[in-house]
Amino acid sequence: MLASTTSPVSAEGEVVVQRGETVTITVHLLQNGTFGDPVPDQTIEFYDQTHNTLLGKDTTNVSGIASINWTISLSFPLGPTLINATFRGNESLFLSPSTQWILLNIVSSTQIILDYEIGPFAPGDSFCLTASLFDDSNAPISNSTLIVMSENILLASSITNSSGIALISIQCNTSWANYGENIIRVIHQEDLINFYAETEESITIDIQQIATSLKVENHPNDVLLGDSLTIDINLSAGDSGISTEVRVYVDDDLFDT
């Protein structure tokens, strides 16, 4: 059996690993097939068959197990790489040669760097964030989709430009946000066509009700019956005015303006 640090797999299987990771490749040498006795003290050779490179050798232990640790360099070519473990046989023990394979899909790790407005924000506000996507050599990744999620709700998506940058605008509303802190995730999904790994970054957005102030200005204290009365009403939040409906009540009855 062959295995890697990311997940154990059977011979003829496939596993995705990132450049820079160390992969443990393990074989179990048995007599007479899968259910035979282990064979100790035999040399196993491990090859990168795709690039015709010997990765290392090991000798089976009393359990018939041999393994190597292979650190995949950051300059290693991306894409499928076929690894084989070869036993060349032992005539004196009447052991025939055998080989096992595993297909490793080598990908680049990715990194997202975020620049965004801090807030707080009110329901109905929009905020912008800039996401920059890089590979394992810190080169920008272009034409790649980034998605923004709040729990299981898709908020937005955008495609990176030639500089690896995506500009994303999100509206704050109660379909996904609660008052207080809300965690949103910016995600680059695994891309096995271009050989990029998945990554994500999270940010916290603070949603608050903004305190308002209502001020009645320029009204007389006395007015004659039958005269017209003009009242100036100023509704504001902080230093800004608010454009919205205002209801006027006279002795607890709604006055139709």
| 91-114 per-position pLDDT tens digit | 998 889 999 999 999 999 999 999
Read off the pLDDT band of 199 (50, 70, 90): very high
Q: How far apart are CA 80 and CA 92, in angstroms?
A: 37
User: Which tokens sit at 8?
Assistant: 């154990």
pLDDT of residue 8: 38
Could you report the per-residue pLDDT of 20-47, keeping only the tens digit for each?
999 999 999 998 766 788 999 999 999 9
SS (H, E, C) the chain: CEECCCCEECCCCEEEEECCCEEEEEEECECCCCCCCECCCCEEEEEECCCCEEEEEEECCCCCEEEEEEECCCCCCCEEEEEEEEECCEHHHCECCEEEEEEEEEEECCEEEEEECCCCECCCCEEEEEEEEECCCCCECCCCEEEEEECCEEEEEEECCCCCEEEEEEECCCCCCCCEEEEEEEEECCECCCCECCEEEEEEEEECCCCCEEEEECCCCCCCCCCCCCCEEEEEECCEECCCCCCEEECCEEECC
pLDDT of residue 135: 98
Q: 134 φ, ψ to 5°?
A: -130, 155
| Domains of the chain with CATH codes | 2-107 (2.60.40.10), 111-207 (2.60.40.10), 213-255 (no CATH)
Task: Tell whether the torsion through CA atoms of 51, 142, 110 and 190 is positive or negative.
Answer: negative
Read off the pLDDT band of 4 (50, 70, 90): very low
pLDDT of residue 244: 65
pLDDT of residue 11: 37
- Say whether pLDDT at 1 is over 50: no
Q: Which residue has the higher pLDDT, 156 or 218?
A: 156
Average pLDDT of the chain is 86
Task: Calculate the CA 58 to chain-centre distance.
Answer: 37
Average pLDDT over residues 48-74: 95
Could you report the per-residue pLDDT of 212-234, keeping only the tens digit for each?
677 777 666 777 777 777 777 77
Q: Average the pLDDT over each of 84-88, 154-158, 250-254 and give the range with the smallest value.
A: 250-254
- Say whether pLDDT at 144 is over 90: yes
- Say whether pLDDT at 253 is over 80: no
The burial class, CB within 10 Å (0-12 / 13-18 / 19+), for 221 is: exposed
Read off the pLDDT band of 189 (50, 70, 90): very high
Q: Which of 124-128, 140-144, 222-226 has the highest mean pLDDT?
A: 140-144
pLDDT of residue 43: 96
Q: How many residues does the chain have?
A: 257
Q: Which of 131, 102, 76 is nearest to 6 (CA)?
A: 102
- Say whether pLDDT at 123 is over 90: no
pLDDT of residue 49: 96
pLDDT of residue 25: 92
Average pLDDT over residues 48-77: 95
